Amino acid sequence: MSTFVTRDGTEIYYKDWGTGKPVLFSHGWPLDADMWEYQMHYLSSRGYRTIAFDRRGFGRSAQPWEGYDYDTFADDINDLIEHLDLKEITLVGFSMGGGDVSRYIGKYGTSRVARLALLGAVTPIFGKTDDHPEGVDKSVFDGIKDGLLKDRAQFISDFATPFFGLDNGQKVSDGVLTQTLNIALLASLKGTVDCVTAFSATDFRPDLAKVDVPTLVIHGDADSIVPFEVTGKRAAEQIAGAELKVYKGAPHGFAVTHAQQLNEDLLAFVGG
């Protein structure tokens, strides 16, 4: 397997396909790099180098007890970029992964970054705060953590229904549901729970203020996990010149339900 070791000694798995300008993918919760296999195959078949990693605590990466915060996630991305000496990167982050590519820019700038794509992302801020009262209430995230600690396998199995919009007319195969559960259960329980705190409580507004590269924001208007009105819409408004694409009827898991549309939009975006 392809792995590298971060500055704090954590071994991170990554896959690296094709040649050409690099596209670096950061996955959502509670998944791993395999969520990107169709996007990676599509882009690498058309002349791009695609890289995706398993976040610490997830997939085939090591499972440390600590480090499930966005400053550390950004450091891990920076260590991967330096390990591979990537330049002119298109950063693509889905859901909680939109947070770590944004925090990477907030901490390290855009000297190696050509473009940014935020897909169903938790940016600029997901949870409710005094100055963001329309965010999702903390009780929702507390309920998620309670469900994980009681019966993680069943909670994640049930989570697939709103994730893929199965309660709103979308359809995915039994195989996709099985694969999704299998991927999620590879993760550490500690990392899975701690990341709920990270993506619900982190404010990315200062990071988005530093974005100075062409940016594409894609969000489903039927996303019941990360509501468009309080995340994607606001991120597109905050980033100067950002292009916003709203997928009509799309759920949070539109990388599966709207895979071809996403593939084509990403190809057009990375090609400039």
**Residues labelled as active-site residues:** 95, 223, 252
Provide the token pair at 166.
Answer: 């199965």
Provide the token pair at 201.
Answer: 């409580």
Beta bridge partners of 125: 203
Beta bridge partners of 127: 136
What DSSP element (H or E) covers 15? Answer: strand 11-17
- Distance in angstroms (rounded) separating the CA atoms of residues 268 and 272: 6
Paired sense of beta strands 215-220 and 49-53, if any: unpaired
Beta bridge partners of 132: 129
Would you mind telling me the total number of residues written for the chain in this entry?
272
Nearest one of 180, 140, 142 to 161, comparing CA atoms? 180
Whole-angstrom CA distances from 21 to 18, 108, 150, 226 are: 9, 20, 44, 30
Nearest one of 112, 44, 65, 103 to 266, comparing CA atoms? 44
Q: What is the DSSP letter of 221?
A: T
- Helix (H/G/I), strand (E/B), else coil: 100: helix
